Amino acid sequence: MKFDLVIQGPLNTTSLEKINDISDQFENIIVSHWDCDKIEHKLNLPDNTIIISQPLPDREKTYGVMKDSTFYYSICSTFFGIQSCTSQYTIKMRSDEIYSDFNVLKEKLLEDDERFVFGNIFAKRWSHSPYHIGDHLFAAKTEHLYEGYKFLYDSYTYGKNLMSDSWLIQGFPQNQTAESILAKSFLKAKNIDMKSWRRKETMQKNFDIVDINKLGDYVARWVQGHKTYTSDTNQYRCSVNNLGDF
């Protein structure tokens, strides 16, 4: 089965300097970033790397999304990257992180490829916040990710859908996180009846989770908390490690 990788966010040597090491795990690696980004030295990237550059979006012109949140930036860079994906499946990763072995993530998705499979970094239990998935690293069918991200991009860029789909409004209700909005956009892309979204069974049928400690050598980050997690010195520990925990 063919997978593409979207690396989204500002250019970062954490991922760029490791692309050659992971390139054989993907058909294409799409680096989606802002045209104002700078890298101090030239990188020799593999032939299957595609660079997508776009202007940094103006968050002040958005609708329904917090102006001081990076959520809209993430939506834009991911959506523009997905548009260049040609494989049946896509894995999305942040540019300031890196993982060396994506096999566990791929295998988990292929057990049931109608699901959205995410890394457990910052995932929360349903009882704490429904649909609070991990949004740093995830995999799904490319078509589902494209439809979900297009819906989010159109909603926040042009103000579409906000009246009919109030769950899109970030921070309303209070527990409506960026992670839960992303999860619900996946359900929306699959045309899952909204009346069933409140049921845990809907989450269990459409999502799954992997422990990032099973993905080889890695660097993962909590930017707001000024913390870096690595596979060898400061491993990420989470109470949510599988679907049962979630």
Over residues 88-144, the pLDDT tens digits come to: 999 999 999 999 999 999 999 999 999 999 999 999 999 888 999 999 999 999 999
Predicted local distance difference test score (pLDDT) of residue 25? 98
Over residues 187-238, the pLDDT tens digits come to: 999 999 999 999 999 999 999 999 999 999 999 999 888 999 999 999 999 8
Give the neighbor-by-neighbor strand order of the sheet with 227-230. Answer: 98-99, 218-222, 227-230
Angle, helices 71-82/142-158, rounded to nearest 10 degrees: 130
pLDDT band at 3 (very low <50, low <70, confident <90, very high): very high
Distance from C-alpha of 48 to C-alpha of 246, rounded to nearest angstrom: 35
Distance from C-alpha of 158 to C-alpha of 229, rounded to nearest angstrom: 37
Over residues 139-190, the pLDDT tens digits come to: 999 999 999 999 999 999 999 888 888 899 887 766 689 999 999 999 999 9
Place of tokens 């939506």: 75
Q: Is 75 exposed, middle or buried (0-12, 13-18, 19+ CB in 10 A)?
A: buried
